[in-house]
A = this chain, B = another copy of it.
Amino acid sequence: MLSTEEAGRLRVVLVRSRNPLNIGAAARAMSNFGFERLRVVRPYEAGFREARSAVDAAQVLRSAEEFEDVGAAVSDCSLVAGTAGGAQRTPREPLQRLEDAAQAIRTQLRAGSRVAILFGSEKVGLSNQDLSHCQLLLRIPTLYDHPSMNLGQAVAVVLYELVRQTDPGGPSAVNATPATAEGRERMTEVWIEALTVSGYTHHGPDATLEEKVRRLVRRLDLTAPDLHEWLGLLRRIVWKARQSKEQD
C-alpha cells in the first residue's frame, strides 16, 4: 500500500478524452484507490463540463487541473509513464509489463518524487508526440487480438496494480479459530451415536466406522464456531432418532 502522502504525488493525466462517462469513471477509480490529482489535457470541452457536473467522484473532478499540452501537464513530475492501448502498433519506447512499471512508479513515489501516468483518448491512444514525453510505457496484459480497453477500466486496473501490493507484514484475512482435536472428537462421537441409534451398525460400536467418520470429520477443516453449530443441529437429529429407537 501507498501512504496518503505517497499517493498524493501521483498525477493521472487524461489526454484528449472525449467521453464524459469515461472521465467520470476514471475519477471514480481514483477515489476508490485513494488518488486525488487528476489532470486533463485538451479534453473535449462539452464532455469535460458534463463529467465535472456528475454527482460521484465530484471532489477529484472539481479539483482537476486543465492543460493545453502534455509537456505542461507533466512538467513538475520526475517520472512520466505512458499507457499502451491497442492503438499503438510498435511504440519506440521500451514496453514494460504493468507489474514491473508499477514497481518503478511506487519506488519514485516513496522517494518523494512526483509521477505522471498518461492515458490516451479512447479512439487513438497516445500520439507519438505524447509518447515522446514518457520515460516508460506500460502495457496491461490484454489479449493481442482484443487489446483495447475502455479508458475508465484501464485507469482502474493501473491504479489497482499500484495499491494492491500489501507489503509483507500487513494484515491478511482474519480467519476464525480452528476447531480443536477435542472438538472434532466430540463431533465424531455424536455422529457415531446418530448412526448407531439409526441402526447403521447392527452389532454395536464398529471400529471401522469410527475410523471412517473420524477421518471424514477431520477433513472438514472446521472452525470452532462452525463445529459448535453442527453439533447443535446433529444433536437435535440424534434426539429424534433416539425417540424412534425407543419406540422400536
Contacts and interface: CB of A to CB of B under 8 A. Distances in A.
Interface of A: 1, 21, 25, 28-29, 31-34, 94-100, 140-143, 146-150, 152-154, 156-157, 160-161, 163-164, 166, 172-173, 175-176, 191, 194-195, 197-200, 212-213, 216, 219-223, 226, 229-230, 233, 236-237, 239-241, 243-245, 247
24 contacts: A25-B153, A29-B149, A29-B150, A32-B149, A33-B141, A97-B173, A98-B164, A141-B166, A152-B153, A157-B160, A161-B164, A191-B233, A198-B236, A198-B239, A198-B240, A200-B236, A212-B229, A216-B229, A219-B226, A220-B220, A220-B221, A243-B244, A244-B244, A244-B247
B32 A100 contact: no
B149 A195 contact: no
Contact of A94 (B154, B173, B194): B173
A195 B234 CA distance: 8
A99 B239 contact: no
A173 B241 contact: no
Nearest to A153: B156
A13 to B, nearest CB: 19
